[in-house]
Structure 1
Amino acid sequence: MWYVITDGPLKILKSNTVVAVTEGASQMVHKHRSEWTGEDKKKVNLDNVAKNILHKTLDKNTFSKIKMCYTAKEICEKLIQIYDGNEQAKENKLSAMQKFENLKMKAGETLNEFDECFSSLVNELAALGKEYGNREIAVKVMRALPRD
C-alpha cells in the first residue's frame, strides 16, 4: 500500500491491440471500468483505503488542513509540508522561536505595545505550525515583564 502513498493512485492499464507494436513493447492504455476484474477493483480501492487510514490517525485540527486533498499521496505531501516544511519554513520557525524565547518587555514600552508584539509573534509561530498552550503563553508573558 505504501506505493499508493508515494506514487499516487494505481492506474488500471491494458495493452493497446489497435496500435502496431514497435520495438517489441506494446503501448498501454487505460482499461475501461466495465473490463475491470476483481483484482483491478481492489487495486483501484487501495488509494481509498490509504486515505481512510490517514484520516483516522489525524486530529481535527490537522484533518481540517488536509481535507481538500484528493489522493493519499496529496495528503502525505501536505502533512510533510505542514510538519517538516521546506528549508525556508524551518529557518523562519527557528528564528521566530528564538525571538519568542528571548522576548522581554523593553524599557519605556507600554503594555499595549508589548501585547501587540507578543501576539504578533505567537500568531507567526502558529502559522508556522508551532502552537503554545495557554499556560505556556502565560508563563512566557510573566517572565517577559520587567521585575520592577
Structure 2
Amino acid sequence: MKILKVNTDVAISGGEPQMVEKPRAEWSNEDKKKANLDNVGKDILYKMLDKNMFSNIKTCSTAKEIWEKLTQLCKENDQTKENKLTVAIQMFDNAKMKLGETMTEFDERFSNIICELIALGKYILIVKLL
C-alpha cells in the first residue's frame, strides 16, 4: 500500500498536484489505519483462495491488485463457460446414433451431454414421444 502526499518540491502548473510516496516516518494515525485495512483485505482474500488461485495472485502487492486480478480471471472463466455451453448445445442438437452403436452406448453418450449441459446451468426439456 502506498500512502501518498503532495510533492511540494515541484511547482503546480495549472494541473493536479504531483503526488509522491509519503515516508513511513511521516505517516499519521489515519495513514496507518489505511495501510492496515489493505493488510486485512489481503488476509481475507488469501484465506478464501485455493492453492491454484493463490498462485495466480501471489505477485500482487495490494488488496486492490488482488481483487482486479481475480475479477479478470473470473471473466475469463465466464467466457470459457460460455464456449463450453455453446459446444455442448451443438452436441445436443447434432446427437444421432452412430453406425454400429448400440442403444446403451448412445444412451450413455447422450446422458453425458445432458450432464454437461446441467453442470453448465442449462436445462433442456426433453419431450418423449410415444
Structure 1 length-normalised TM: 0.47
Measure how far apart 1:51 and its partner are.
1.7
1:54 to 38, 45, 68: 45
Question: Is 1:40–2:23 an aligned residue pair?
Answer: no
- Alignment partner, residue 91 of structure 1: 82
SS of 2:5 mapped into structure 1: strand
Are residues 99 and 52 of structure 1, via their aligned partners in 2, closer, same or farther at CA, if it must alter by over 3 Å? farther
Question: Is 1:72–2:63 an aligned residue pair?
Answer: yes
8 A contact 1:14–1:28 mirrored in 2: yes
8 A contact 1:66–1:75 mirrored in 2: no
Measure how far apart 1:31 and its partner are.
0.9
Structure 2 length-normalised TM: 0.52
8 A contact 1:66–1:78 mirrored in 2: no
2:53 maps to a residue whose letter is: K
8 A contact 1:14–1:30 mirrored in 2: yes
Matching of residues 118-129 of structure 1 within 5 Å: none
User: Runs of 5+ in structure 1 lacking a partner?
Assistant: 1-8, 110-120, 126-131, 133-148
Q: Which has the higher contact order (CA 8 A, sep 6+)?
A: 1
Equivalenced residue count is 103
Q: In 2, distance between residues paired with 1:83 and 1:93? A: 15
- Structure 1 stretch displaced more, 82-91 or 45-54: 82-91
Are residues 21 and 31 of structure 1, via their aligned partners in 2, closer, same or farther at CA, if it must alter by over 3 Å? same
Are residues 19 and 96 of structure 1, via their aligned partners in 2, closer, same or farther at CA, if it must alter by over 3 Å? same
8 A contact 1:66–1:79 mirrored in 2: no
SS of 1:29 mapped into structure 2: strand
SS of 1:23 mapped into structure 2: coil
SS of 1:77 mapped into structure 2: helix
- Alignment partner, residue 106 of structure 2: none
Percent of pairs with identical residues: 52
2:99 to 107, 110, 114: 107
